[in-house]
Amino acid sequence: MTYRIRNVAIAIGLALVAMLLTLFYVVNYRRTVEHSQATVQVYVAAHNIPAGTAGTAIVHSGALKATSIPRHGVVPGAISDPNQVASLVLSQPLYAGEQVTLRRFSDVHSEGIVGQIKGNMRAIQVPGDPNQLLAGTLKSGDHVDLVANLTTDGQGSGHVVRIVLRDLTVLQAAGAVPAVPSASSNNSSVILAITDTQVQRLYFVMRNADWTLELRPAIDAADSPERLDSLQSVLTSGGLR
């Protein structure tokens, strides 16, 4: 009798354990289903966005829009805040309605020079001597003006001096750019960001005039009125600004 009671008790205990395990599984499964069906906010492309677009341009141009989708529909790397890509550059195209993921972006600097220009901007390598290029002073990210001494007649006897280009961004400073082969051992180079039309003026000056770069202030830079200086203006204007 005692043996039978013990067996019955064991069977009842096992049945209770099985029931509890089943109940625990059902409760957790239900929670998992409810969790996966809950909606979360993600960002999708409002329109097609080409590769190479800067993250800051994407964020500030309204190219992203927030939408809610079931949690199980979120793709790996999806962003929850546009600022997550503001300092990056789009390395693969995004298509309208597609979730925005960090996998489509890369660091601006990892893209090199090409990651720092867009639209009608171009990069040009400018050779010159250390004085022209402010070697040892100029750093990547600085802004410069280009000052030129131009000949006004065919004999080279007449000259004017003026600032011909303003606020050019230095992409790489002298020393960071391999020197261009030249007869001068002091030759060096910088890489500047410039528009596709400004480059014509720059190239003309490089080929036909004496020139130098001047460093602009990092904060609150301002420009004086445009002017030409010649022998007459230098002799008559004194120290006027």
What are the residues whose beta carbons fall under 8 Å from the beta carbon of 213, sequence distance 6 or more?
A: 128, 132, 133, 134, 138, 144, 145, 146, 147, 190
- Other Cβ atoms within 10 Å of 59 Cβ, number: 18
Provide the residue-wise pLDDT of the chain in tens; the chain has 241 residues.
576 777 667 777 777 777 888 877 777 767 765 555 678 889 999 999 988 788 888 888 889 999 988 888 888 889 989 988 888 888 889 999 999 999 888 876 666 777 677 789 899 999 999 999 999 999 988 999 999 999 887 655 688 999 999 999 999 888 755 555 544 446 789 999 999 999 999 999 999 999 999 999 988 889 998 888 888 887 787 666 6
b/e string for 147-157 if b means 16 or more Cβ within 10 A? bbebeeeeeee
Please give the torsion angle defined by the CA atoms of residues 194, 197, 199 and 200, in that order, rounded to the nearest 10 degrees.
-170
* Distance of alpha carbon 203 from alpha carbon 209, whole angstroms: 10
* Distance of alpha carbon 10 from alpha carbon 114, whole angstroms: 75
* Beta bridge partners of residue 149, listed in sequence order: 161, 210
Domain 39-112 class in CATH: alpha beta
- Residue ranges of domains in the chain: 39-112, 120-218+227-235
> What pLDDT is stored for residue 183 in this prediction?
46
- Quote the pTM value: 0.55
* Distance of alpha carbon 13 from alpha carbon 10, whole angstroms: 5
Structure tokens at 130: 């250390």
CA nearest 47: which of 61, 36, 34, 33? 61
> What pLDDT is stored for residue 87 in this prediction?
81
* Distance of alpha carbon 162 from alpha carbon 211, whole angstroms: 10
